[in-house]
Amino acid sequence: MASAFDYVEPKVGDLIEIFRLGYQHWALYVGNGYVIHLAPPSEVCDAGASSIMSVFAEKAYVKKESLHRVAGANRYQVNNKLDRKYRPRPAHIIVKEAEGQLGQEMDYSLFSANCEHFVTDLRYGVSKSCQVDDVVTGVGVGIGVSVLGLTAMLCYQLMKPQQRHKK
């Protein structure tokens, strides 16, 4: 069985997930070795800390660059994981719309308008970031577990004196 990280030759319209330190950058494959992606000014290939600084950016630019330049030394893969949930738009429409946005400055938000939102909107017509959803769900679960734990501890503390009085 093939692993999730086996190399698959990208096809026009595919989403490319690039594994950076602490997060994934996303791009759209448009053919001939090129991708279109949304990148804040601080998003630099192999830049480490300066790429991580993109979380503070409020603006980003639509760029067309070679996949190898965007990925740098980072591992990448084709990842159309939302194909099971949403129908991909025709590749020629995806590329035409992406190329029509080249050079544009766009609002950028880590939680609502990041590079993954940008490419999923192009491919599916739905702006979605599973990366953000996973973080929000994880935080929600963490908060829920913490609240549940605190509630249980409070109940235990409140019931403890009553149990002593029963003896």
* Residues marked as catalytic: 25, 37, 115
User: Cα angle vertex 37, ends 33, 42, to 5°?
Assistant: 115
**C-beta atoms surrounding 21 within 10 Å:** 11
HEC string for 143-155: HHHHHHHHHHHHH
What distances in angstroms separate CA 27 from CA 63, 133, 161, one per listed residue? 10, 18, 60
Match 């019931």 to its residue by tokens.
Answer: 159
